[in-house]
Structures are given as C-alpha cells and as structure tokens.
Chains A and B, each alone.
Chain A
Amino acid sequence: MNSQSQRRKNFKIEAFKHKVELDPKYAERTWKVLEHAIHEIYNNNASRLSFEELYRSAYNMVLHKYGDKLYSGLVATMTAHLNKIAKSVESAQGGLFLEKLNHKWADHNKALQMIRDILMYMDRSYVPTSHKTPVHELGLNLWSDHIIHSPNIQARLQDTLLDLVQRERTGDVINRGLMRNITKMLMDLGSSVYQDDFEKPFLDVSACFYSGESQQFIECCDCGSYLKKAERRLNEEMERVSHYLDAKTEVKITSVVEREMIANHMQRLVHMDNSGLVNMLIDDKYDDLSRMYSLFKRVPEGLSTIRDVMTSYLRERGRVLVTDTERLKDPVEFVQCLLNEKDKHDKIISTAFNNDKTFQNALNSSFEYFINLNNRSPEFISLYLDDKLRKGLKGASEEEVEVVLDKVMMLFRYLQEKDVFEKYYKQHLAKRLLSGKTVSDDAERSMIVKLKTECGYQFTSKLEGMFTDMKTSEDTMLDFYAKQSAELGDGPTLAVQILTTGSWPTQPTAACNLPPEILTVCEKFRTYYLGTHSGRRLTWQTNMGTADIKATFGKGHKHELNVSTYQMCVLMLFNSADGLTYREIEQATEVPALDLKRCLQSLACVKGKNVLRKEPMSKDISEEDVFYFNDKFTSKFVKVKIGTVVAQKESEPEKQETRQRVEEDRKPQIEAAIVRIMKSRRVLDHNSIVAEVTKQLQSRFLPNPVVIKKRIESLIEREFLERDKADRKLYRYLA
C-alpha cells in the first residue's frame, strides 16, 4: 500500500517551453521574397505575384519580431527606386519633364497601394507600437524628399509650373489637365509642400506680373478700359484656380490682383482726367460705374474712396447750381434743375451702386449742404409747387401727381429753414385759393397731408383752416343769395371769401374807394353777415380781390375783363371821364402808390391788354402821366385777363420784409424752447442749452447761437432765469 501512494504524483501539463526560433536565415529569405516583390511592383510586373503569399510573409516577419528589418528594408528599397525615378525624370527634356513626372507619380501611387496592401499587418501592428510612419505616408514623404525636393528637380519644377502660368496669362494655351495633376500631387504630398513649392512663389510672381501690367495699363488706358481689363484678369484668375489650382488659393490670388490692380491705383483711377469717376457720373456711364463699384468693393477703403469723390463733386456741382445767377431768375426752372439732379443720381445709385445705403446717405447730405447755401431755396420750392398746382399738373393722373409731390417733399426735407418755406407756402396757397386757380383740390390736400406727416399738426393747421374758410364762404354765399335775391335785383354779383384772421397770411390792408355800385352790394353783405354772426368784425381786403367787368370799346367790340379790385376801381372811373391824370386817379381811388403804379402799368403798358392809353407812351408810370380809355382796344379773346394776382418771386424789399417777419416769429419759438428745457433741467450750462434748443427746433429751422444767447439774456432780464451765483457758466430756472 505505501509504495502505491508514493508512486502517485500530480499530473502536470508542462508548457511548451522550447523556443521555436525562426531561423534567421528564414527572416532573410522572407525579406528577399518581399524585396523582390517590391522590385517587381515598381517594374510593373506585379501580376505574377501572389498577394496571399506576400501578405503571409510580411505577417510572419512581423510576428517573429522582424518588423524592424522589414520596415527598414522597405525604406531602403523604395528609396533606391525613387532615386532611379528621379534620374529618369531629370533626364526628360523640355515639355516632357512634367509629363514624365506626372506619369511616374501615377505609377508610384499604384505601387504604393499594392505595397501597403501587402504590408497591411505591419502597418497595423508594428508601425503604431514603434512609432514609425505608416506605409502610405512614408511613400509620400519619400517621394517628396527624393523626387520633389531633389536638387535637380525642385527648382525646375517650380520654374516650369510658373512659366506655364505666365504663358497662359500672356495668351497661350497650356495643358491644364497636366497642371491639375501636378498641383494635386503637391497637395497630396501635404499642404505645406503645395504652399512652399508652388503657392508662395506663384503668388509672388503674380504680384510682380500684375504690378507691371497695371502700371502699363494705367499709363495708356482710360479709367473705364482699365477697369474692364482688371475685371477680366480677376475673372481669369478665378477660373484658373477652379481649373488647376487648389481651391484655397483663390482668395489669395484674388487679393493679389485686387491689391496690385485696384488698391494701388485707386486714387489715380478715380481722379483720372476725362474718364474718372466724375466724368462717369456726368455721362451716366452705368456699366463703368457698376464695374468700379464691384471692383472697389473688394479692396479696403475702396467704396469710401468712391463715396468721398462723389460727395465732393456733388457738393461743388450743387453749389454752382444754387449760386448761378442766371438760373436764379426763374425759380421754377431752378427747382426743376435740382429735381433733375436728384433723379439722375438716384438712378445712378440704384443702377450702378446696388442701392447702397451709404451712397444714398452721401447723396442726401450733399443735397442738404448745397440747398441751404442759397437762402431763397424755401421760397423757390414753394413757387415751384405753386406753378405745378396752379397749372403744371393739369391733366395729370393721380399717380403722376403723387410722384411729383413726393419728389418735391424730398427736397423739402433737405431744407434747414422749414419755417421760411411755411410762410411762403401760405402766401402762395392763399393766392391760389382766392383766385380759384388750383389744378386739383385733391392735389392740394395731398400736399397738406404730406407736410403734416413730415412736420406735425401745427405746421399745417392754419393751412387747413384756409381750406375750411373757402368751403364755409361758398356756403355763406349760397345762403346770402337765397335770402337776399329780392333786394339785390340786378346789381353786380358779389362773391365773398371770408378769411379767418390768423389762418391767412397777414398783409396790411389799405382800404381803397370802391365804386358806388360795388359799395352798395358790399354793405348789404356786411349787414347780412353781421346779422348772422354777432361779435365779429369784417374788413374788406381790397388788395386781394378780383372783378369781371363787361366793357364796350370802339365799334361796339364787347369784352369781358378779368381784373383785380384795384384795377376795377380805376377802370370804373372812366365811366364818367374819358381822360384822367395820375393824381386824379390816385385821389379818387386812394389806392396806395406802389400798387397803383403796378395796376396802371398792367392796364396801359402791356401789349394785348392795354385797355387804357397813356400819355406819354413810356413804359414807366410817372405822376405826371395822363390816362385815357383806349377806344381802339382789340383782342381776339372775348374774355381778357388782366389781373396781377399771380404768385411771383419776391422783389428785394419784399424778401427783406418776409425774412424779418420770419426772424421775429423765431424769437418766441426759441424762448419757448429755452423755458421748456430749463424747466425740466433746472440748471444747465450755456453750451448745453444751445445744443438742446437746436435739437428741439431742428424740424423747423436752424437757430443762430447768437440769437439764442440774446433770448437767454432777455429771459434773465424778465427774471425767468438767473445766472448761478457760484458758477457763472450755469443758468438756473426761476420758478
């Protein structure tokens, strides 16, 4: 029993201890197989190789820790082949150089693919652990090092490529496909290779080229042609990139062209004599302008250069326009000119400058600048509107009317002295309404609405009052005739317009002596009116009325004369006398001298309207003149208009008077603004008050700082404000 248990031992399975060493000769042999395969691959003899066998060989080598040998062997073999290839490429002549290179590259890639497939196990297991470059990448790096950067190839490659580009730029046709392949090769080798070996030198050479070309062009071309050439070159380069360069090169080459052809010559182009920006603007060269805009947009300060030149041109042009004394003689023409300029430049901005808002602003600021250089602009704009509303817009459709009015509103917005415009507009409107000479009531109202929208209710409330008065007067007249028809019999027919004082422009009334027939019916009206409206006072405005008179001349010629009230008074005198001296007329009518002279001039000195004859026959009225009823007066019209109530450009003294009234009106407005500001701010320094007041009043006029100061002093005197005792630069509000 004992021997049995002693004999029983643990059964152990021992590990397979002995090394299965690969015979080193085996490794060498295996390598040789692979080396041979690589050779064959490079010699385009791959078809006879067995992929499976080669893969296994490589696998075994790596497995048996011969990865190093395999790898270094690979490197050596490939290098050897590449050196051979390099020599082959170097030996290529002329144009064949690139082709050879391209061809060899294609081959190399194919070979590399196969090699990598074979050595895939090494790539996956040995390469990462020993931190070596993977096969594919290795192949590319070796190519870079031994071919591309080979001393005999590197420079030649670069020169060849750049030379081809140069030739293409000068008009030759080149092999774009080949170029594409080469540049793609460089990209594949790494973007730093592409950039260093091709892109950077390409950009440098291009800069030189374009610098030279632009210098040449600018000496011999006009601006428009130059820009065309620049645009063409720019497009060419973009096309070049899309065909055979890397996409990332596009923005780099375009900025080279932009810099050399555009940015460096911007000032010269814009200011070129006879063809620069200003000439383009004058001649409406939309294409050229559009091209300039899109090219200059690409460079820094490009658009601002155009804008600045355009602005200073506009300001100068505008300044010349508004100070041209010839043109100023006809206000309607003057305004039409301004409108035309605006239209012209609006069109340029929308057609050629892409409706760019900054250009629109530059246009606006220029107009604002020069319109206000002439202080009669507000008056003239009102006269223009008067002309349009009186006859210019006759027969125009509603849309056409709106278009015209809107355009005038644009000019109105540029005015600094809107209150002056208001004064004139009121005067002209009054004349239009009273003489019944308005083209369309709708047009008038439309204008009022536009002014209200622009300036607020206060601006137009009085104007609207004028319209109301006209309507009310109509109703009153109807009522008057309905009630009084019996009494009136066949006296002269009266049409009264009752104007509310305050709504209408005030003019000093000088009563004149009305003819008795008129006086009677006027008194009847006064009685009627005051009967229905107690507490009111009526004053006849004899300087604003009109009359229709039936006159019989020699040979029984009958005419109906449309005259002003003053003229009527004068003419009626001739019912009882054939001839009258100036003084007699003056005494009888009591019309103020200046008006009387104008009146007599229009009755006696105007061809076709000379219902009176004057001795002597001079053009001017002197106090010694004698007037006779002109028996021989003829006119082909039955109705003859001799009235002088049309709105006209003011004479110098009238202008002074209006301006004075405007200045007077401004004083309370300034004071009100000052008080408003001080009431809320309590204490404020001088400059701030001036700034605030200016801001508050800017929709009506631009206050003069000196006037503001004067108003402040007046307010101090009247104890609305005081100077601060501690700091005399401050003002204080006194409650």
Chain B
Amino acid sequence: MRRSSNRKSSSASAAAGSGSTKAASKEFEKIDHLFNVYADKSSAIIDPEGIEQLCSSLEVDYTDVRILMLAWKMKAQKQGFFTLEEWRTGLKALRADSMSKLKKALPELVKEVSRPTDFLDFYSYAFRYCLTEDKQKCIDIESACQLLSLVLGTQFGPQVDKFTEYLKSQSEYKVMNMDQWMGFYRFCNEIPFPSLENYDSDLAWPLILDNFVEWFRENQK
C-alpha cells in the first residue's frame, strides 16, 4: 500500500462515513473509490441512477441479466440500490477493484452462475430481489414473466415462452409466490418439453403448473 493513497482512501472512507476501520479501508480503498464514482453523494448509496451509469460504464444494458448476477454476487438486499457493504462484498469476491477488471470479471461471473448449485441459489435470489415491500411474498404476474425470461430465457427458452404465454392468458392467478417460482425451475429440469410425458398431476407439483400442463395439452390439439 502506498502511503499517499492510504491517506486518500482513509479520507475517502471518512467522507463515505461507513465507519469502517483503517485496516479495512486499506483493503478496500480502490473498491470504495469505485463505489463513490456511482454513489449518490448525500445518501452514500448507489441508487437507480447510479446503477444506470454503472451499466453504461460496463457497456451492459440496464435490463441485462448480468446486473442481476452482480447484485447476487453482492448479496444486495434492495432492488435498485447497492450499499457500500454490498459493493465491497461483490467486488472483493470478483477480485475486481477497477472498472476494467470488473468488466473482465463479468463473463466469469456468468459462467459461475450457470453452475447448477449456484444457479439454484441465483434463481431463488432473483425472486426475492423483486420483493420490494416488507411483508411481500408474491410478485405480480407481469413482473414474474419478465423475470422468468431474463433469468431462464437462455437455458429453457421454449418452456419459458409457453409458460409466460399461459400466465398472461389466464386470470386465476394474479401473483406468483416463491413456491410456484421454484416449482417452475424444477419443472424445467425434470420434465421433458414439449412432450411432458412423465408429468403427473397427482404428485406434489404446484397447482399452477398442473393448470399450465392442462392448458398446454389442450392447445396442442
């Protein structure tokens, strides 16, 4: 650590007011510096605007799934916001302390997420991330459809297309809950599509999927 930068980072961290010790700030000085580029000066948190800027720096679209992956890596709690702690967590894990390193880390991140165990965690994280209110347990169907496309679109395109088509055409379900969300992922993994041959509605599949299968089979005729 260079002495001159030490002072810089300590003043920077003092300005950020995160209350971290000198030792910690030493480690995170570059990361914090990067944080401040995008953070709102008064709240000291990266807000949606900041994220937009971040996206353009990363040369990634605002709605790109990689931002969501980044949020996951950061274990970000609130959609549209990154706190310093979260920023530090994420970038440290990615071993990135500059924009160029961060850009380079993205493809690695994508690969990491697509590993089955990690993907499961990411997938359920994606749902939770959308729960904006305190006691909220469900997300509305419209948002759910968008999220599905974003998160599963590449891996299970046909299923996602059909399922979202179904969801939009029916009126019984206005929201989706976590159980149904996870159920769909299981469905994609275990049931061959479009044959759906070993799907048994007498088993413990969520009812929404029973209805989807029935709708799908009806429409096939």
Would you call B177 an interface residue if the criterion is a C-beta within 8 Å of the partner chain's C-beta atoms? yes
B202 interface neighbour in A705, A713, A716, Cβ under 8 Å: A705
CB neighbours of A713 from chain B (8 A): 179-180, 206-207
Q: Is the CB of B202 within 8 A of A717?
A: no
* B-contacting residues, A721-735, CB 8 Å: 723, 728-731
CB neighbours of A690 from chain B (8 A): 202
CB neighbours of B210 from chain A (8 A): 706, 709
Number of interface residues of B (CB under 8 A): 11
> In this complex, what residue of A is CB-closest to B211?
A706
CB within 8 Å for A730 and B179 given contacts A706-B210, A717-B137: no
> In this complex, what residue of B is CB-closest to A729?
B204
- Report the Cα distance A642→B85, complex, angstroms: 81
Q: Is the CB of B177 within 8 A of A717?
A: yes
Contact with B along A674-701 (1 / 0, CB 8 A): 0000000000011100100000000000
CB neighbours of A709 from chain B (8 A): 207, 210
**Shortest distance between the CB of B200 and any CB in chain A (Å):** 10
B207 interface neighbour in A685, A710, A728, Cβ under 8 Å: A710
- Report the Cα distance A730→B186, complex, angstroms: 14
B204 interface neighbour in A706, A710, A717, A731, Cβ under 8 Å: A731
Would you call B93 an interface residue if the criterion is a C-beta within 8 Å of the partner chain's C-beta atoms? no
**Shortest distance between the CB of A721 and any CB in chain B (Å):** 10
- Max chain A C-beta neighbours (<10 A), residue from B137, B204, B206, B207: B204
CB neighbours of B202 from chain A (8 A): 686-687, 690, 705
CB within 8 Å for A706 and B207 given contacts A716-B179, A717-B137, A717-B179: yes
Q: Is the CB of A686 within 8 A of B203?
A: yes
- Report the Cα distance A730→B206, complex, angstroms: 12
CB neighbours of B177 from chain A (8 A): 717
CB neighbours of A706 from chain B (8 A): 207, 210
The bracket for how many chain A residues form the interface is 10 to 19
Interface of A is mostly: helix
A723 interface neighbour in B137, B204, B207, Cβ under 8 Å: B204
> In this complex, what residue of A is CB-closest to B190?
A728
CB neighbours of B137 from chain A (8 A): 717
* A-contacting residues, B136-191, CB 8 Å: 137, 177, 179-180, 186
- Report the Cα distance A548→B203, complex, angstroms: 62
CB neighbours of B206 from chain A (8 A): 713
- Report the Cα distance A706→B210, complex, angstroms: 9
- Report the Cα distance A395→B177, complex, angstroms: 63
Q: Is the CB of B179 within 8 A of A723?
A: yes
**Shortest distance between the CB of A454 and any CB in chain B (Å):** 32
CB neighbours of A687 from chain B (8 A): 202-203
CB neighbours of B179 from chain A (8 A): 713, 716-717, 723
> In this complex, what residue of B is CB-closest to A705?
B202
**Shortest distance between the CB of A716 and any CB in chain B (Å):** 5
CB neighbours of B204 from chain A (8 A): 685-686, 723, 728-731
CB neighbours of A710 from chain B (8 A): 207
- Report the Cα distance A690→B201, complex, angstroms: 12
CB neighbours of B203 from chain A (8 A): 686-687, 729
> Can you list 15 residue pairs at the A/B interface with Cβ under 8 Å?
A686-B202, A686-B204, A687-B202, A687-B203, A690-B202, A706-B210, A709-B210, A713-B180, A713-B206, A713-B207, A717-B177, A717-B179, A723-B179, A728-B186, A730-B204
CB-CB nearest 3 A-B residue pairs: A686-B204, A709-B207, A729-B204
Instruction: List 13 extra interface pairs beyond A709-B207, A723-B179, A731-B204, CB under 8 A.
Output: A685-B204, A705-B202, A706-B210, A709-B210, A710-B207, A713-B179, A713-B207, A716-B179, A717-B137, A728-B186, A728-B204, A729-B203, A730-B204
